[in-house]
Amino acid sequence: MNRLDGKVALLSGAARGIGAETARLMVEAGAKVVIGDVLDERGRETARTLGDAALYSRLDVTSEEDWRAAVAAALDRFGKLDILVNNAGLFLGKDIEAASLAEWARLCAVNLTGVFLGTKLCLPALREAARESAHGSAIVNLASTAGLVGSTQDPLYSMTKGGVTLFTKSAALEFARKGYRIRVNSMHPGTIDTDMGDQVLVARARNLGTNDIEAARRQVIDRLPIGRMGTPNDIAKGIVFLASDDAGFMTGAGLVVDGGITAQ
């Protein structure tokens, strides 16, 4: 199950957190990976730990030029591109009244424009690889539980992730209609222990009227049916599944990995 032998994947925002763990699991599953990020040093280090199966390409997801360079790097070094993981994302953690227009624009640029550009600019290579593959190519978009239900901490983040949820379904339908053989699915994590997870806890603590991040963490855990926060590995396993041929009958779907928070 969940093997990716012979596959080549490009992951945005994979220098750290969920993206880095997904790159690691993908290599373990037999794939070659291109790690894109704006954190050059961290991204190179993440790629280095994965050896010859990985390379780092600077990728600001808001830049068409960077996407072209990342796809070219995948083709030059590994010969094709089967999988795109649109993982890069920003969290803001501000109320509607506190957020500025510039902050909204930045959130949109990374969380929405980045997903659109990645999909559009990887499409030719993904189509090409799909022609040669039994089950076609795959795109996995990182949405969130905040893309399914409203967020108590960050309404603007929630608006962008809701967009990712429906873009995923629409792209799946478009590519199916056109016969491209590219599956598109979304991953919906709950609160996960990463740098972004810490930002979520800071916002929650602020809303509780305290600086006590541990109090915020306890509150999150108390509300989680599974009784713990998620790890990058919990999410990476789901992404690898969606990217693999084992998910060959899934497209336009969302996989919720949230410790049960949205079941309530």
Ligand X SMILES: NC(=O)c1ccc[n+]([C@@H]2O[C@H](COP(=O)([O-])OP(=O)(O)OC[C@H]3O[C@@H](n4cnc5c(N)ncnc54)[C@H](O)[C@@H]3O)[C@@H](O)[C@H]2O)c1
Tell the smallest beta-carbon distance from residue 196 to ligand X (Å).
3
Interface map 68-97 toward ligand X (x if CB under 6 A): -------------------xxxx-------
Spatial contact of 26 and 243, defined as CB atoms under 8 Å apart:
yes
Whether residue 180 lies in the annotated active site: no
Determine if 192 is a binding residue for ligand X (CB under 6 A). yes
Q: Rounded distance, CA 101 to CA 191, Å?
A: 26
Q: Rounded distance, CA 179 to CA 170, Å?
A: 14
Query: Of 36-44, 49-57, 93-101, 211-219, which segment contacts ligand X by CB under 6 A?
Result: 36-44
Side chain identity at residue 56, one-letter code: Y
Nearer to ligand X, 123 or 200 (CB): 200
Residue found under tokens 């983040």 = 157
With CB under 6 A, what is the number of residues at the site for ligand X?
29
Determine if 38 is a binding residue for ligand X (CB under 6 A). yes
* Cα-based distances in Å from 233 to 102, 130, 194: 33, 27, 11
Q: What torsion, rounded to 10 degrees, do the Cα atoms 101, 169, 254, 87 define?
A: -50
Nearer to ligand X, 144 or 168 (CB): 144
What tokens appear for 8 in the block? 């080549």
Per CB under 6 A, residues contacting ligand X are: 12-13, 15-19, 37-39, 59-62, 87-90, 110, 142, 144, 189, 191-192, 194-197, 200
Residues with a known catalytic role: 157
